[in-house]
Chains A and B, each alone.
Chain A
Amino acid sequence: MSAELQRPERVTIILHSGDMDKVYSALIVGSGALAMGMEASIYFTFWGLQRLKKSGLEKGPLSKMNFLGLGKWMVRQRMKKANVATLERLMRDFKELGGKVIACEMTMEIMGIRREDLREDWIDAYGAVGTYIQEARGSQITLFI
């Protein structure tokens, strides 16, 4: 058996969207995978990278029916009632269980985002497409969100 096959199974997610509901999807799938014994990485790119800015994680709009924030507010109330974890908590758990966060360097360049603008304590690596492909080629699951 090759060394590659002996590695734990892996999930690799590209988070392109910065919408709140999609950030939830990425972090829930990622931490679910970790909880079930897989490795997990999330590549934050484009609008997704905005969520890695300092105090930016919870700032995304709803992907549908945002209605200038009113829809998001209503969904948040429902989530609170259903006791859904905050994105902050999901990120903390994701990191605690060994999840990897990769920030897209090209997006940083395009959008003029510096490392010190980001939650550097969450970020494991700054990467480009090659990093993603290298991770994804050995992954059992890869998602574009």
Chain B
Amino acid sequence: MAEILVDCRGETCPVPLVETRKAIRQAQPGDVIVVVGTHPASREEIPMAVRALGLELLSVEGTDTDWTIRIRR
């Protein structure tokens, strides 16, 4: 099981969401995708996308402007 890092720090709408989706598409089932970012809305919206895609949201940590989201494909 690989761990894939998506660094979206400094990026704004819609890049964190889009980059997360691209990483999910490239991941194998079971892989963990770790997204780090600073865009406040994406902290709420990436988990929404994860649920919509039927994937497992492992954790959301940090503040609105400095967060880490872990997803299992």
Q: A-B pairs with CB below 8 Å: how many?
A: 42
Q: How many residues of B contact A (CB 8 A)?
A: 16
1/0 per residue A15-58: CB within 8 Å of B?
00000000000001001101111000000000000000000000
Q: A34-B21, A96-B22 are in contact. Are A28 and B52 (CB under 8 A)?
A: no
Q: How far is the CA of A37 from the CA of B46 in the complex (A)?
A: 12
1/0 per residue B19-59: CB within 8 Å of A?
01110010000000000000000000000110011000000
Residues in A with CB closer than 8 Å to B14 are 28, 31-32, 35, 85, 90
- B interface, by DSSP: helix, strand, loop or mixed? helix
Does A35 contact B12, Cβ atoms closer than 8 Å? no
Q: A31-B14, A35-B18, A83-B11 are in contact. Are A97 and B25 (CB under 8 A)?
A: yes
1/0 per residue A93-115: CB within 8 Å of B?
10011000000000000000000
Q: How many residues of A contact B (CB 8 A)?
A: 15
By a beta-carbon cutoff of 8 Å, the part of chain B in contact with chain A is: 10-15, 17-18, 20-22, 25, 48-49, 52-53
Does A93 contact B18, Cβ atoms closer than 8 Å? yes
Q: Is A84 an interface residue (CB 8 A)?
A: yes
Residues in B with CB closer than 8 Å to A85 are 11-12, 14-15
Q: How far is the CA of A117 from the CA of B22 in the complex (A)?
A: 30
Does A36 contact B52, Cβ atoms closer than 8 Å? yes
Q: How far is the CA of A92 from the CA of B53 in the complex (A)?
A: 22
